[in-house]
Structure 1
């Protein structure tokens, strides 16, 4: 590693999108602490050129993953508008008056021969404060390196503040595979202006075993090509701030937590994809990795928010490459809308305490002899659930048990023509309607205190549909 002061840079991306041209100019700053010069030889250049050409060829095969709805990500951090901590992440926004007289400390760090990498950013927030008191901005960006970068990861860091004590007391620790910043936030400086930028330039053919990013508050943007891979686990934990990835590097297990923040972007699922927020939106496209064929390990997708909406497309409508393996989906919302498209394999569970559901379910089976179940559950909220035709039309919809429940709300269910089996719907207070092509009502009546029930069958299949509402109506249609 090397940490070099006396530098700051203005970067601009080339039109190609994968490589960056850097025009640097020296300005007064901090002194060098870990000087080390990189070596570049002709042989290294040819080897890197060959590897990059091969990896770009692989990337072309993954192009469908990046056809996304860009409008989702235009306003990444509006969710923080009511937060006690205001993160300003737009470089063009007008800073307050106290930010007009600043000093900057700049560094860069070289990392080579990496197997693992960990970045930690800690703000010493010794008390709560309002947005009007202090101006904080923290950005962490993972960017594609220039074509000729020899380092695995080059980190360019800058800390700008109107309080010189922040720069004097700034601490960083460096090891062969980690970088940690500790940034003081003075207790009595109510006019503090503090801006931290950490840009990580990643070699485009880099393959890591594990990647970890931890921050007290930061907006994390990941703009890496698919040739960057994580062989094992990727973990991102942000207390306050958003995480957006276009796309996120492929990893076997990915865990992302954004406390007071959103999770946005494009992700690939291998063995595990876990997304968790406290008070932020989850709006993502999720694609099964087409390379994981015939795996017996379930691909587990888990998304949870305590107070936020979800818009999930798993898989996106244009995605056709779904490998044969078990799939499990769990989506939980405390108070917020659950909306999207979900791949149903072995089991699918959608749950909301106080919020509506608008979901399309795409059945996918590795083996029709393995039973599967779907459960949607709400304490208070309407559900509009559509079961799509199976992903593989020639495989029958069989061994499928589905349960839909709401305490207070309306159930509206639509099942495909491929579905055959038994049906039962009931309410404590409300109506029940079950109809559709070849649906035969075998029993119906009333329930105490003011409810109804209906039993029906369709065809000779072994599927089972059960739906119920405490206070509300039930409507189910097949075909």
Structure 2
């Protein structure tokens, strides 16, 4: 029998609550949620549709389904996978400045997300995704705070920059031994590509960033023992040399500019290759 999950949707109990089935944790479950017993939860028919804050926590189950991203969507599992579709929605009229925060984490499972881009409301977006040994993949919004971390897993990300007010798009990624493959798409608001900041660090994995040619700003790419490439239309390389450290190790450091915008890309890896490609 599957272990029970904890589920919170913080809008309060209904006026006439129905008896909770055995799989509920009555201390945390405030809206109906069923665990079908097939090792995954919940199905799209089980999900609340109008709750600003949704929290799902489980130990070994996987989490699947379609979710609306309102004020908070927080998904956590210890050893299961997370594979969902998230649909960003407008802020509540009582809190128009409330950020939309998406959090997903697992210890040993994989995480995959598909974000619906049919209509992305204008608001601040925060994304935090982490897995110790699993792969992180899929499509995500790149808002004011976008953070991806893994120890030994790989990253394969497609990001859509979203600028809101004075909050430019910002991305931080870290991996200890896994490779990173990051695609940054064009935005309807070109200012987003002219102000975004990106920092990617890796100890032993390669890092590849494919970015829309609308980006403008500075690029720094560094590898202690690997190769470093920065290229694309409009790129001017200012510095390109083998770096030398206290241990007389060889590597490559490239500093380049593209256009006159305020964007910043910084990539650093110890032993992997670095590629930054604009197209």
TM-score, normalised by the number of residues in structure 2: 0.85
Whether the aligned pair in 2 keeps the contact of 1:342 and 1:359 (CA below 8 Å) is yes
Give me the whole-angstrom Cα distance separating, in 1, the residues matched to 2:269 and 2:86: 31
Match of 2:147 in 1: 349
Match of 1:264 in 2: 64
Unpaired segments ≥5 residues, structure 1: 1-85, 88-114, 118-150, 156-178, 182-196, 199-209, 222-237
Deviation track 1:292-319 (CA, whole Å, cap 9, x = no partner) reads 4792111110000000001111x23xx3
Give me the whole-angstrom Cα distance separating, in 2, the residues matched to 1:343 and 1:404: 17
Higher relative contact order (CA 8 A, sep 6+): 2
Match of 1:374 in 2: 171
Name the SS for the 1:397 alignment partner.
Answer: helix
Does structure 1 residue 289 correspond to structure 2 residue 82?
A: no
Deviation track 1:197-250 (CA, whole Å, cap 9, x = no partner) reads 99xxxxxxxxxxx82579xxxx715xxxxxxxxxxxxxxxx9x95312315213
Alpha-carbon distance, 1:291 to partner: 6.3
Unpaired segments ≥5 residues, structure 2: 3-11
Give me the whole-angstrom Cα distance separating, in 1, the residues matched to 2:210 and 2:21: 52
Deviation track 1:81-129 (CA, whole Å, cap 9, x = no partner) reads xxxxx65xxxxxxxxxxxxxxxxxxxxxxxxxxx616xxxxxxxxxxxx
Match of 1:220 in 2: 35
Whether the aligned pair in 2 keeps the contact of 1:396 and 1:418 (CA below 8 Å) is no
Q: CA RMSD in A?
A: 2.7
Which of 201, 206, 217 aligns to 1:421? It is: 217
Give me the whole-angstrom Cα distance separating, in 2, the residues matched to 1:384 and 1:360: 9
Whether the aligned pair in 1 keeps the contact of 2:91 and 2:100 (CA below 8 Å) is no
Deviation track 1:435-458 (CA, whole Å, cap 9, x = no partner) reads 000101101112241211111001
Match of 1:329 in 2: 127
Match of 2:7 in 1: none
Does structure 1 residue 469 correspond to structure 2 residue 269?
A: yes
Higher radius of gyration, 1 or 2: 1
Q: Which has the higher strand share?
A: 1
Does structure 1 residue 302 correspond to structure 2 residue 103?
A: yes
TM-score, normalised by the number of residues in structure 1: 0.51
Which of 378, 398, 408 aligns to 2:194? It is: 398
Which of 219, 232, 238 aligns to 1:442? It is: 238
Name the SS for the 1:331 alignment partner.
Answer: strand
Alpha-carbon distance, 1:372 to partner: 3.6
Alpha-carbon distance, 1:399 to partner: 2.3
Whether the aligned pair in 2 keeps the contact of 1:245 and 1:267 (CA below 8 Å) is no
Deviation track 1:17-66 (CA, whole Å, cap 9, x = no partner) reads xxxxxxxxxxxxxxxxxxxxxxxxxxxxxxxxxxxxxxxxxxxxxxxxxx
Match of 2:228 in 1: 432
Does structure 1 residue 340 correspond to structure 2 residue 134?
A: no
Whether the aligned pair in 1 keeps the contact of 2:163 and 2:192 (CA below 8 Å) is no
Match of 1:45 in 2: none
Give me the whole-angstrom Cα distance separating, in 1, the residues matched to 2:52 and 2:233: 43
Give me the whole-angstrom Cα distance separating, in 1, the residues matched to 2:32 and 2:242: 57
Whether the aligned pair in 2 keeps the contact of 1:295 and 1:324 (CA below 8 Å) is no
Alpha-carbon distance, 1:420 to partner: 0.6
Q: Which has the higher helix share?
A: 1
Name the SS for the 1:350 alignment partner.
Answer: strand
Match of 1:453 in 2: 253
Whether the aligned pair in 1 keeps the contact of 2:223 and 2:273 (CA below 8 Å) is yes
Deviation track 1:255-284 (CA, whole Å, cap 9, x = no partner) reads 101111100000001111100010000000
Match of 1:112 in 2: none
Whether the aligned pair in 2 keeps the contact of 1:384 and 1:411 (CA below 8 Å) is yes
Which of 34, 37, 44 aligns to 1:246? It is: 44
Alpha-carbon distance, 1:345 to partner: 1.3
Whether the aligned pair in 1 keeps the contact of 2:74 and 2:102 (CA below 8 Å) is yes
Which of 5, 8, 13 aligns to 1:116? It is: 13
Give me the whole-angstrom Cα distance separating, in 2, the residues matched to 1:260 and 1:371: 37
Give me the whole-angstrom Cα distance separating, in 1, the residues matched to 2:227 and 2:144: 32
Give me the whole-angstrom Cα distance separating, in 1, the residues matched to 2:32 and 2:79: 20
